[in-house]
Amino acid sequence: MTAAWQRIADGVHVWRYPVLDVNVTVVSGDEATLVVDTLSTPAQAGRLRRALTELEPRRLVLVNTHAHFDHCFGNATLAGPDTEIWAHEATRRRLADRPGQVVAEAAARHAGDDPELAGLTAVTLLPPNRTVHEHAELDLGGRRVQLRYAGRGHSDGDLAVHVPDAGVLVLGDLLEVDAPPQFDDAYPISWPATLGRLLTDATGQVVPGHGAVVDAHHAERQRRELAELADRIAAGYATGAPLEQVWSTGPFDLATRREAAARGYAELTG
Ligand SMILES: [Zn+2]
């Protein structure tokens, strides 16, 4: 499969890849080209590398928004020996400590989800080599981008990318469009406040980890749904309510609420 570049601002393009409907965002500077997220397999990342030639890339700089396979397993295909790969420190830890085990677990869980994902078994995982604690600024030549960590949410290491001169905010899986948010590694109680802190930077287009590019109003609506769900979970926990009572109603679908409630109780238990 392949995709077409969507220009969302001057020198900012999104490649919405059909398998898992995952987004790659590219920010072009005079000296460097920032590629945010690298897809799942060597074959997919190879297609991305070929598609990048249309954008006349400079030196590539990579960002992984978080440690899930569909956002970072293409690193080795895109990176040369000197390529910077940026991520939050928790994401690097997760990927660098036991890369072979990370690949084996992702392959065991997801290689059957789509014919292309059979390629997960062929991944050599190249972990990030530059880390962000809370904030970093990258100079791409003629434009600067901000990398920002605002707390736990979809995972323990979600990194957002803000392009101030274009008004673009890239949120990784802290925001999902056309599919419910994913809670399997999430911190449902922290998530809405984390997203809220990042959305103070949202003035124009907002790129989710999966699905269509939206505006700040759409992102704010999802933040309110996440907050409603977090409030339900926290209230249930405070009164000792059984989990099934917590997930019986509320925003998103039943399977999503069930996973969120279990993760939320675990987060509150600490
Ligand atoms: Zn994810």
pLDDT digits (tens, 9 = 90+) for 120-145: 999 999 999 999 999 999 999 999 99
Mean pLDDT within 176-197: 97
Do β-strands 135-139 and 130-132 pair in parallel, antiparallel, or remain unpaired? unpaired
Please determine, for residue 258, whether its predicted confidence score (pLDDT) is greater than 70.
yes
User: Quick one: CA dihedral 149, 219, 251, 17, positive or negative?
Assistant: negative
The Å distance, Cα 173 to ligand 1 centre, comes to 5
Determine contact, residues 17/44, Cβ cutoff 8 Å: yes
The Å distance, Cα 142 to ligand 1 centre, comes to 31
The Å distance, Cα 222 to ligand 1 centre, comes to 16
Closest CA to 233 of 207, 268, 201: 268
Indicate the class that CATH gives domain 5-215: alpha beta
Determine contact, residues 178/211, Cβ cutoff 8 Å: yes
Boundaries of every domain in the chain:
5-215
The Å distance, Cα 154 to ligand 1 centre, comes to 7
The Å distance, Cα 159 to ligand 1 centre, comes to 11
Please determine, for residue 1, whether its predicted confidence score (pLDDT) is greater than 70.
no
Please determine, for residue 2, whether its predicted confidence score (pLDDT) is greater than 90.
no
The Å distance, Cα 175 to ligand 1 centre, comes to 10
Query: pLDDT > 70: what percent of the chain?
Result: 100
pLDDT tens sequence across 205-222: 999 999 999 999 999 999
Mean pLDDT within 27-46: 98
The Å distance, Cα 240 to ligand 1 centre, comes to 30
pLDDT tens sequence across 167-180: 999 999 999 999 99
The Å distance, Cα 71 to ligand 1 centre, comes to 7
pLDDT at position 70 is: 98
